[in-house]
Amino acid sequence: MTFPLKPADSGPLMIDIQGTRLDAQERARLSHPLVGGLILFARNYHSPAQLTALTTEVRALRHAAGHAPFLIAVDQEGGRVQRFRSGFTPLPPMRALGEQWDRAPEAAKAAARALGLTIASELRACGVDLSFTPVLDLDYGHSAVIGDRAFHRRPEAVIALAGALIAGLRQGGMGCCGKHFPGHGWANADSHVALPVDDRTLAELQEDLHPYRALPLDAIMPAHVVYPAVDAAHTACFSRKWHTYLRRDIGFRGVVFSDDLSMEAASVAGDTLARARAAHAAGCDMLLLCNSPQSARDLLTALEKTPLGRRAEDGRRKTEDGKATGAARRL
């Protein structure tokens, strides 16, 4: 399958909404040329029918505004990170697959593939393009925020199980996003509320990096974690050094999503505008901003005056010109 997002053709911001229906302000924000995606949460879900109606309305708004393709995403990993529950198949935590791998590796891979197909099929049926999965962090037993979201401690098990999950996702018509590069399993702190630091050397991080080298990833999400041995001044999300390593050493050619810029660990980069600029300058293609409608409004206003805003407007005009040319040819 083809990943449904080309960064050059899309607005760089992915934002959220507050409820199960759009209000007038949300319709206006989602129609903005700088917005290229929507991330959904449990608060946005009531039933498959409601979700389908919501995603249909969002796409109609984008079409009416003359914008390029739009990405609708969710964290539907399994276990405690499953945003849509009633009407969807209950998904186990990925550690359950790792435990099965220890007993019966082939059966675990088959289960992982079936799980990927279930995730993709159910989400795609409701108009959702992407689940931010798989989690590729190694399960060192240090990180409570990762915990049972991780498949296993051993990278070869993570590669086998995540690879099978990805195959299932693709069978269901969905791409994948590996997270949290280069690895969030060692650091103790929760980046939602604190700044995690991983003091290992780059050589010691190679086990964590192995899944990123081995798997056919469409997208990657860097961690809001500082790795002083590589870049003591920035989290991986804001680090040009880490993005360069990802592109040049690992050879990744896909899309890079920032993790949520409203998280506490992102505050090291400054206010919301400074965070967005830092993430984009480091190499993130799409910037996530969640749980802060006022920040989203302020950021859109501020970015309109920057080269990023002018590029998004140029993209909108090209889309409109292409539609007009196509219509003229059909006459």
The answer to whether 276 and 259 are in contact (CB under 8 A) is no
Angstrom distance (rounded) from CA 300 to CA 313: 12
Examine the residue annotation and report whether 23 is marked as an active-site residue of this protein. Answer: no
Beta bridge partners of 220: 178, 256
**DSSP E strand stretches across the chain:** 13-15, 35-40, 71-74, 76-78, 81-82, 130-131, 177-181, 219-222, 226-227, 231-235, 255-256, 287-288
DSSP for 150-187 reads S--SSHHHHHHHHHHHHHHHHHTT---EEEEET--SS-
Q: Going by C-beta distance under 8 Å and a sequence separation of 6 or more, which residues neighbour residue 35?
A: 11, 13, 14, 15, 29, 300
Q: Which of 139, 259, 260, 285 is catalytic?
A: 259
Residue 329 identity (one-letter amino acid): R
In the block, which residue shows the tokens 């700088």? 34
Beta bridge partners of 235: 226
The answer to whether 288 and 72 are in contact (CB under 8 A) is no
The CA-atom distances, in angstroms, between 92 and each of 149, 237, 241 are: 9, 28, 35
SS3 state at 290: coil
DSSP 83: S
Angstrom distance (rounded) from CA 297 to CA 29: 7
Examine the residue annotation and report whether 75 is marked as an active-site residue of this protein. Answer: no
Which residues are catalytically annotated?
192, 259
